[in-house]
Structure 1
Amino acid sequence: MKKVRKAVFPVAGLGTRFLPATKAIPKEMLTVVDRPVIQYVVDEAREAGIEHFIFVTGRNKGVIEDHFDIQFELNHTLARRGKDEQLAKLDQLQPKAGQTSFTRQQEPLGLGHAVWCARELVGDEPFALLLPDMITLPQHGCMKDMVSLYERTGGSIIAVEECDPSETHKYGIVGKGADVHSGFAITGMVEKPKPGTAPSNLYINGRYILQPEIFAILEGQERGAGNEIQLTDAMLKLEKQRPFYGYHYHGRTFDCGSPEGFVEANVAFALSRNTMNASMASMIRTLLDELKPVASSVAAQ
């Protein structure tokens, strides 16, 4: 069984929900507390033992490549000023030479198409797929545990979390079968099921380990919902050839692709920092007290 060495990060999206902020800055480079969203996702992959980071980019995404490169002028200035702590932090986050690759998705044809664009860089190996909008708290562990489950089962792995049953129509939902090691067999997948038809309340949280056979399926995949090449459609076909297993993640995933989720992530991650939680909690309490009259006035209107 081949080791999961590579991870794909589809970062070609336009980020229209964040305009005008994303007119010049990729949404993946918006910061949660003190680092870009994409850095959290790459750190999670690195903790899982990933050795090669593959970014599927689009136009105006060059700053992502710059972020994962060495900036000699900055390092020189920090060293000259004795900023050893900051230098060490940058060095810790820096991928080694040859560990990053970038390829273009020339047209916005959906997640399945973005994954297919990485086929030559992935090759004939199982690979991790991490959606860069989704970051997890605790910050580490989800992909690491998925790799562990893959090593026990050899199948494709999908991470899931529970949602309110009334909200299953918002997500990709999986059917839950028998328990297998630290996961369970997936009996089916459906994208945004109609209310009352979902096979469970377990939604896909943006973390996958997929077999390379997915590329051949995506090659001939017809466009689905939204006139895009849907990854879920390809996974349904792959499921008939090889088993899929679910990993139930018990942390919390924040969708930083929406303004509400992005703000929520900033608050949650700040509160999780020992150096910030006391001051943040005090500030939030103060703001809530100050805004109570405003909220009451809006509710009365």
Structure 2
Amino acid sequence: MSNRKPIRKAVFPVAGLGTRFLPATKAIPKELLPIVDKPLIQYAVDEAREAGIEQMIFVTGRGKTAIVEHFDIAYELESTMAERGKDLGVLESSRFTPGDIITVRQQVPLGLGHAIWCARAIVGDEPFAILLPDEMMVGQPGCMAQMIEAYNEVGGNLISVLEVPQDEVSSYGVIDPGEVSGALTEVRGLVEKPPADKAPSNKIISGRYILQPEVMRTLENQGKGAGGEIQLTDAMARMIGDQPFHAVTFNGQRYDCGSKTGFVEATLALALEREDLGAEVRAIAERLLAR
């Protein structure tokens, strides 16, 4: 019987300004931009819920209160829909038990590591998950469910990775791999954006983490790294050797929704897979491509 603490909490860093999507993100958080008919953040939250995570911690910034509103109960909307006999099931995934959504403010944009550190009091002394909503991971089961299955086997710290062509590695954080067992790879080191010919592997870090609470202590005392920001990668690298550290190769599809092309690709891919939209969207795409 394992004495590992279960993963009950997930941190979502959502304080970014979304400048790549201006002017769309001037008044709406980029995390609420829809992929087909669900906001981007909803896909990450659904993935966490599927993995058995109970408490969602949003690290927000100014102008991000609409994210919390999205996961609240909208009484006027629901009563109007009920009166008109409309199905309320469509809102089910955006509803939470009181207390299961918690927000903390990152007052100054000091990097991903700092955003995670802002959640230290809520995470407490438990291992926790991190999901970066910009990285949209589509799989059966979802990426976090795949990672929790691996965590139950090996414990310690885990990150999700994907294999990319060698000439693309310089855009990402890359792992220095050790022993490989199925989807699990031992992590011996982490290298941020290495030149393609110097990269230790083609396995890139892809926006999902399960970390032990000690990472908060590491972040507490950590100076600024690349870009003058407090980097999560630096803190994780310092924990290698002290605790088990593995990468899980995600079996599924990743869409980089932090870029416009990735956002369009995700929208098109998910629409094509929908029973209610797929055939029509395919016909539209073919018509546009034939022009």
TM range (shorter): over 0.9
Distance, in Å, in 2 between the alignment partners of 1:248 and 1:181 is: 9
Q: Indicate the SS of the match to 1:120.
A: helix
Amino acid across the alignment from 1:72? Y
Q: State the Cα distance separating 1:255 from its structure 2 match.
A: 1.1
Query: What are structure 2's unaligned runs of at least 5 residues?
Result: none
C-alpha contact 1:44 1:139 (8 A) present in aligned 2: no
Match of 2:76 among 73, 77, 100: 73
CA offsets 1:14-61 (integer angstroms, 9 cap, x no match): 001111111111000000000100000000000000000000000000
**For residue 296 of structure 1, what is the aligned residue in structure 2?**
none
Q: What TM-score does the superposition give when structure 2 sets the normalisation length? A: 0.97
Asked if the contact 2:134/2:256 (under 8 Å) is kept, the reply is yes
Deviation (angstroms), 1:140: 4.5
Q: Please say if 1:145 is aligned against 2:146.
A: yes
Matched residue, 2:5: 2
The worse-fitting range, judged by mean Cα deviation, of 87-96 and 101-110 is 87-96
User: Matches of 2:286 and 2:182 in 1, distance apart?
Assistant: 43
Contact residue 139 and residue 252 of structure 2 kept, 8 A: yes
| Partner in structure 2 of residue 260 of structure 1 | 261
CA deviation profile, 1:233-289 (whole Å, cap 9, x unmatched): 000001131121110012111111111111111001101112111111111111011
Which amino acid letter does the alignment assign opposite residue 174 of structure 1? I
2: CA distance between counterparts of 1:50 and 1:163? 29
SS at match of 2:223: coil
User: Sequence identity, in percent?
Assistant: 54
Whole-angstrom CA distance in 2 between matches of 1:137 and 1:284: 21
- The equivalent of 1:52 in structure 2 is 55
1:166 corresponding residue in structure 2? 167
SS in 1 for 2:287: helix
Q: What CA distance in whole angstroms lies between the structure 2 residues aligned with 1:140 and 1:76? A: 34
C-alpha deviation, 1:92, in angstroms: 3.8
Aligned to 2:221: 220
Separation (CA, whole Å) in 2 of partners of 1:157 and 1:73: 42
Q: Deviations over 1:43-89 (max 9, x none)?
A: 000000000000000000000010010000000001000002xx012
Counterpart residue identity of residue 277, structure 1: G
Match of residue 67, structure 2, among 54, 64, 68? 64
SS of the aligned residue for 2:159 comes to: strand
Is 1:33 equivalent to 2:36 in the alignment? yes
On the 8 A contact 1:169/1:193 being kept in 2, the answer is: yes
1:139 CA displacement: 6.8
* Partner-residue secondary structure (3-state), 2:185: strand
Tell me the distance in 1 between the aligned counterparts of 2:141 and 2:228. Answer: 35
Counterpart for residue 203 of structure 1: 204
Q: Aligned letter for 1:100?
A: I
The Cα of 1:187 is off from its aligned counterpart by 1.8
For 1:106 and 1:139, the matched residues in 2 are separated by 36
**Which one of the candidate residues 60, 85, 90 is aligned to 1:82?**
85
Distance 1:278 1:178, change over 3 A: same
SS of 1:22 mapped into structure 2: coil
Specify every segment of 5 or more residues in structure 1 that has no aligned partner in the other structure, as ranges: 291-301
Distance 2:181 2:121 in 1: 32
Q: 1:11 aligned to 2:14?
A: yes
Measured after TM superposition, the shift of residue 181 of structure 1 is: 6.4
The answer (yes or no) to whether the contact 1:137–1:269 under 8 Å persists in 2 is no
Deviation >6 Å, runs of 4+: none
Higher mean C-alpha displacement, 40-49 vs 280-289:
280-289
Q: Partners of 2:263 and 2:181 in 1: how far apart? A: 34
Q: Distance in 1 between matches of 2:112 and 2:183?
A: 28
Corresponding residue for residue 132 of structure 1: 133
Aligned to 2:24: 21
Deviation digits for residues 106-145 of structure 1 (CA, Å, limit 9, x no counterpart): 0000000000000001000000000011111237521001
Higher helix share: 1
Give aligned pairs, total: 288
User: What SS does the aligned partner of 1:245 have?
Assistant: strand
SS of the equivalent of 1:23 reads coil
Q: Is the 8 Å Cα contact of residues 152 and 181 (structure 1) preserved in structure 2?
A: no
